[in-house]
Amino acid sequence: MIKDALMKPSRIETARSFSKHRLKERYSAEAWERRLDEPPEAFHAFCIYRDTPSEKKRTLCVIAEESGAPRTDVEHWAKDWDWEARSSAYDNHLIKAEIEELKRDRIKSIRKRVALARAFQNKVITRLNALNPDELSPADLIKWIEVAGRIEKQILNESIEIKPR
């Protein structure tokens, strides 16, 4: 009997669990997406607020004017639907996406330069193999191998610098 009482959740725990479930249900999408019970007019006004560049001042008066909704409604929606936090989450999402794109572009560029350096080395090696050693001075041979090696080393060192932070 005591074990059964300890095993059953209390009314408070049940209420908390239900409350968490309802919150999760309400906020299951990304912060900047429409909430399940958010009125379409409120979400439309929020989209105007959210899509205003973060460098520009987001003001509720301007949002009310652009959305055609009464200013008092916009003020209530902004508070009730946590526009500031949601738009901040959206801004952060955009920044992270931009950073990821820059990382991909940098990696692509590094790979391209490594391939170019290696192709250059191969051309030099092919040319050197085709030349009569008597026609090529030792200084020329050393010079070209050193140049190609330095280029490859520089590019590979740059690619090593890309580390997750």
pLDDT tens column, 21-77:
444 445 557 999 999 899 999 999 999 999 998 777 889 999 999 999 999 999 999
Whole-prediction pTM: 0.56
- pLDDT of 75 reads 96
Q: Does 112 lie in the same domain as 77?
A: no
Q: Which residue has the tokens 């040319």?
A: 127
pLDDT above 70: residue 81: yes
125-163 tens-digit pLDDT: 887 788 776 676 889 878 878 988 998 898 888 766 655
Domain contains 17: no
What letter does residue 134 receive in the DSSP assignment?
G
Q: Does 107 lie in the same domain as 72?
A: no
Mean pLDDT of the chain: 81
H helices present in the chain, as ranges = 2-7, 11-26, 40-51, 60-67, 71-80, 83-130, 138-160
Among 58, 57, 55, which residue's Cα sits nearest to residue 47? 58
90: amino acid identity, one letter: Y
User: Which domain, by its residues, includes 115?
Assistant: 101-160
Domain contains 61: yes
Q: What SS3 state is found at 8?
A: coil
Query: How many structural domains compose the chain?
Result: 2
